[in-house]
Structure 1
C-alpha cells in the first residue's frame, strides 16, 4: 500500500463525517420533535427562597457597620491622630495661592504669545513692474565720468 493511499484512508473518514454532519444540518429545515412538547417539564431544581441568603446577611452586616461608624466616629471638632497627621502634612493655603497666581500670570503671558503668533503675517512684498529699472539708477552701474 502506498503512502498516499494510506494517508487518504486516514483522512477520508473524517471528511465523510463532517460532510454528512453538514448535510444533515442543512437538510433539516424543521425543528426536532423531542425539543417541543405541549407540556413543559422543568427538570431544574431551585433553592427555596428565603431571607437567609448570603446576600441579605452581608447587606444587614454592612448596614450595621455604617450605623456604628456614624455613631462612634469622631466629630469634625475632635482632635485625633488622623486629623493631626493630615494637618501636619498639608501644604498651607498661602503656598497654594502663590502657585495659583504664578500659574495665572504664566498662562496670561502664554496667551499673549499665542495670539501674537496666530496673528502674525508675512511682510508685504512689493513687486515691481520692471525690475531692470533698479539697475539703471544704481550708482555702481554707470561708467566713470558720466554725471546724472
Structure 2
C-alpha cells in the first residue's frame, strides 16, 4: 500500500463501521486450494473422435497421381529443338517481331516529341518588356551629332503610358 493511500485511510473517517483499513486481495492463490486439488484426482477424458491417420485418403492419392504425371511428362515430352504441333500453332498465331520493333520505334519517336512539347510549355516565358525610367527621352533626341552613315529613327517606338 502506498504511503498516500495509507495516510488517506487513516486521516479520512470511514463511513461504515466495522470496515477494516487493510483490504484483502480478492484473487488469492490460497482461496481455492481445496477445490484445485480435486481436479488432479479425476481423469480427463477427451470426447472428440479423430479420424485414423492413414495414407489412402484422397489427398495422398492426388499427390501420387500428380507425381507420376510430372515424371511421365518429363520423360516423354519433346526436346526443345523439336517442332511439335503446339509449337507450330503458337508460332503461326504470334505477331511478327518486325511489327513490334516498328511499333516500339514509333512509340519512342512520339514520346520524344511529347517530351519536347512538354519542355516547351514548361519553359515558356512571357516576352521581355523593357521598361525605361524616362520614356519621354525618345521624343527628345537630337538629330544632330550623329556619326556619318547612321540614321537614327524612333518613329516605330511606341511609348506606353501605364
Q: TM-score per shorter chain, which class?
A: 0.5 to 0.7
| Unaligned runs of at least 5 residues, structure 2 | 1-37, 140-162
What residue in structure 2 maps to residue 141 of structure 1? none
- Unaligned 5+ residue runs, structure 1? 1-36, 137-148
- Structure 2 distance, partners of 1:42, 1:130, is 107
Q: CA deviation at 1:126?
A: 5.9
Distance 1:65 1:125, change over 3 A: same
SS of the counterpart of 1:49?
A: coil
Question: In structure 2, what is the Cα distance between the partners aligned to 1:54 and 1:125?
Answer: 87
Matching residue of 2:150: none
2:110 aligned with 1:106: yes
**Greater Cα shift, 63-72 or 85-94:** 85-94
CA shift digits 1:35-89 (9 cap, x unpaired): xx93543111001112222211111111111111111111122222211111112
Greater share of residues in helix? 1
Q: State yes or no: 1:67 paired with 2:71.
A: yes
Higher relative CO (Cα under 8 Å, sequence separation at least 6) belongs to: 2
Partner of 1:26: none
- For normalisation by structure 2, the TM-score amounts to 0.51
| More divergent stretch after superposition (104-113 vs 121-130) | 121-130
Which of 57, 64, 73 is equivalent to 1:53?
57
State the match for 2:100 in structure 1. Answer: 96
Aligned-partner Cα distance in 2 for 1:41–1:121: 89
Deviation at 1:97, TM superposition (A): 1.1
Distance 1:77 1:83 in 2: 10
2:113 match: secondary structure: helix
Shift of 1:121: 2.7
Alignment match, 2:84: 80
Aligned length: 102
Higher-Rg structure is 2
